[in-house]
Structure 1
Amino acid sequence: MKSVGEARQTSQYRAAAVLPAPRAVLPDPQPPRPAPRRPSAPAGAGGGKMRDAFFDNAKYLAIVLVAMGHAWEPLRGDSRAAAALYMAVYAFHMPAFIVISGFFSRSFDASPNRIRRLITGVAVPYVIFEVAYTVFKWVADDDPGYPISLQDPWYLTWFLIALFIWRLTTPMWKYVRWPLPLALVIAMLASVSPDIGDDLDLQRVLQFLPFFVLGLVLTPEHFRLVRRRKARLLAIPVLAATLAFAYWIAPHVSAAWFYRRDSAQELGAPGWTGAVMTLAMFGCSVVLVACFFSWVPGRKLWFTALGAGTLYGYLLHGFVAKGSRFWDWYDAQWLHTPLGEVAATLLAASVITVLCTPPVQRMFRFAMEPKLEWAFKPTTAVGEGKRQRSV
């Protein structure tokens, strides 16, 4: 028989045979290869911190078109060309903005930090600018009886309340099997429902909803497809045909269809027209948005940094646009000449550009991006990097 010591020694040998021998710690003769670099996703879309020049360029160019459209609005009656440009731009500039907003809302998960960002970056500016616009109307339009109503968005603030509602519904769209067809059905039903009323501008919220959902279902690969050289070349005849078609229909079709704030019945058309127009305009808008994206530069340019301030430009230029009506700037006859129309266009582009600059952002950050630390419970979320603004 083996002694206790021999048995213990035998068991140690068996364990050594089963367990792998420890490796000596030696310097690696070849340093490890760095992991292959993946193409960086746009900031905000997948947690990246770097801003994507393409989307900043797209947002800046879209907001310039918004300002130009507001500048052309009082000129449409005297100029068929201005009316055609107005309708062509209105067919896609807000849809493009909303598609980008949806794309950058894909990561919204109703977590405490994202809800907090939604409140401080969308809900609070809505309240502030709804009040500010109303007070401005009291003073500039000499209309002190105009009520302050958070229930009925005035002028540009509709987009903020719409973005608030769309973002809150984002988690639902992620789990729906066919999100875009469902959103289109909702938009079609809204377009034939005059009883929806003006509360929270729900007509616009619902009729523009498919563009937001489209942004949610798009991937970076889709944007790469429309930015190919072939797509860029195809966009030229499409845009030319759009301008020609807009010039032809400008005297005969109401631009109110592009605002999407009324039902078909409220626009004096049969109810079924709303459903047809919703589908037709969605298809046309998607094609034009793709054409617009195809010509947006992807490299960093002098205006790229301004893409971070488009919401500032959007809301602040409303005071200039409305002031031009209140103070009768368009009564000047020279503005209704071709040279005047060009001057109004360039002035609108210049004003919106200035309002997107970093100094203006710093000046109005208290209203656009308030921190409101005192209003929220502390959170322990980790890793939520600073996301790119969606508008």
Structure 2
Amino acid sequence: MRETAGRGAGVAMRDPYFDNAKYLAIALVAAAHSWEPFWDDSRAATALYLFVYAFHMPAFIMISGYFSRGFTLTPHRVKRLVAGVAVPYVVFQTAYVLFRRWAHDEPDYPLNYFEPWFVMWFLLALCVWRLLTPVWERLRWPVTVSVVIAVIASVSPSVGNDLELQRVLRFMPFFVIGLKLRGEHFALVRRRSARLWALPVLLGAVAFAYWAAPRMNHQWLFLRDPAQDLGVSAPAGVVMSLAMAACSLVLSACFLAWVPGRRLWCTALGTGTLYGFLLHGFLVKGSRWWGWYRPDRVHTPLGMVAVTVLAVAVVTVLCTPAVRRALRFVVEPRMDWLFRDRAPRSRADRPASGRAERLRS
């Protein structure tokens, strides 16, 4: 379970469990996005969408938090944050807006870096969460404080959409939980008994999602709107927010319980999930704008299966080493020219057991 540092060379051994988890999470992201056009035709598609959306980003964010432990504002880590998160945010926010202007025939669509579009909110949020990591590590009850902040945000219409602040604050508890997790916590959910318990929980969640599909406003899952904008009172919004968070946490644990721990064909793809995450959005939006879902044969059970397989296949290709090599200059650019201090890494920045994994998504 634990990552170990290679002796002499100082190279960390990657734990395949986390790479598998990241790949499976990004595959679920792509699959869920491919189901959105089926909402009006299929209750089953809506139910699957609700089910997956309840945990795929929370699980992804907890893993991000786990590998952000010990983040400090040292020169090396600041450089990695800027080059690996902030610069890709600017690049892809620009690219998505230009793509929308061209593909959707909206030449006047504004380019605004303070309003992340589509998947770009995650990079912005990740930058904010990592910058706050030293604060969370100094607090006595960081998870409790983050939950209180998230709940207050959920019933505060004054927290607007600039910088996707609603999402940043309301997904933040999952990142903070990740900061507090240790290897033994993942070992607990991977025990055989935990896996057996996870099965009925997951099946029950699918059944509940099928019941809720025609009754529930799916906007609750995005954590983008305050409760009042979704038609409920503040007290009801507090209850709903806490219930959704608890549900996401339980389902994330169930998902992580069934992630394989051995090296698989997809393990290496887990290192390229940031590429899949950022690039698949162009096809997600393009498929809507270019009418790929219009044929009647697409809106059939077989058509939905085919679309799902295609979506997962595409995001898989986007995570491959070939794509990473071709697009590393924009997704993981070298920014040496931007920083004047090229001092060697401090002790806190050197690879260490359990902390050496570099999470890019």
Q: Which has the larger radius of gyration?
A: 1
Q: What is residue 171 of structure 2 aligned with on the other side?
A: 208
Q: Which of 38, 43, 46 is the aligned partner of 1:75?
A: 38
Code of the aligned partner of 2:67: F
State how far apart, in whole Å, the 2-side matches of 1:129 and 1:162 are: 15
For the pair 1:90 / 2:53, whether they are aligned, the reply is yes
CA contact (8 A) 2:3 2:14 kept: no
Q: Please list, as runs of the form range in 1=range in 2, the aligned pairs for 1:1-391 lying within 5 A after superposition.
A: 40-41=2-3, 49-377=12-340, 378-382=342-346, 384-385=350-351, 387-391=357-361
Deviations 1:280-326 (A, max 9, x none): 11111111011001100000000000000001000000000000111
Q: Secondary structure at the match of 1:177?
A: coil
Change (3 A) 1:48 1:251: farther
The Cα shift of 1:42 comes to 6.8
Q: What is residue 28 of structure 1 aligned with on the other side?
A: none
Q: What do you get for the CA RMSD once the two structures are aligned?
A: 1.3
Code of the aligned partner of 2:248: S
Code of the aligned partner of 2:218: A
CA contact (8 A) 1:56 1:307 kept: yes
Q: Secondary structure at the match of 2:73?
A: coil
Code of the aligned partner of 2:291: D
Query: Which one has more relative contact order, counting CA pairs under 8 Å at least 6 apart?
Result: 2
State how far apart, in whole Å, the 2-side matches of 1:121 and 1:274 are: 35
State how far apart, in whole Å, the 2-side matches of 1:379 and 1:272 are: 52
Q: What is residue 15 of structure 1 aligned with on the other side?
A: none
State how far apart, in whole Å, the 1-side matches of 2:305 and 2:111 are: 36
Code of the aligned partner of 2:268: A
CA contact (8 A) 1:41 1:220 kept: no
CA contact (8 A) 1:51 1:388 kept: no
Q: What is residue 10 of structure 1 aligned with on the other side?
A: none
Q: What is residue 3 of structure 1 aligned with on the other side?
A: none
Deviations 1:58-101 (A, max 9, x none): 00000000000000011011000000000000000000000000
Code of the aligned partner of 2:124: I
The Cα shift of 1:387 comes to 4.1
State how far apart, in whole Å, the 1-side matches of 2:17 and 2:211 are: 33
Deviations 1:89-118 (A, max 9, x none): 000000000000000000211111101100
Code of the aligned partner of 1:381: R
State how far apart, in whole Å, the 2-side matches of 1:143 and 1:299 are: 47
CA contact (8 A) 1:105 1:390 kept: no
CA contact (8 A) 1:41 1:48 kept: no
Deviations 1:32-62 (A, max 9, x none): xxxxxxx74378xxx9711110000000000
What TM-score do the two structures reach when normalised by structure 2?
0.95
The Cα shift of 1:159 comes to 0.1
Structure 1 runs of 4+ off > 6 angstroms?
none
Q: Secondary structure at the match of 2:265?
A: coil
CA contact (8 A) 2:2 2:183 kept: no
Code of the aligned partner of 1:247: Y
Deviations 1:170-193 (A, max 9, x none): 000001011111100000000011
Change (3 A) 1:256 1:48: farther
Code of the aligned partner of 1:229: R
State how far apart, in whole Å, the 1-side matches of 2:298 and 2:68 are: 40
| Count of matched residue positions in the alignment of Structure 1 and Structure 2 | 350
Identity %: 57
CA contact (8 A) 2:85 2:123 kept: yes
CA contact (8 A) 2:3 2:12 kept: no
Deviations 1:246-292 (A, max 9, x none): 00010010111000011011112212222111211111111101100
Deviations 1:348-384 (A, max 9, x none): 1100000000000011101111111111022232563
CA contact (8 A) 1:69 1:89 kept: yes
CA contact (8 A) 2:43 2:214 kept: yes
Change (3 A) 1:68 1:238: same
Query: Tell me, which stretches of 5 or more residues in structure 2 are unaligned?
Result: none
Q: What is residue 23 of structure 1 aligned with on the other side?
A: none
CA contact (8 A) 2:79 2:335 kept: no
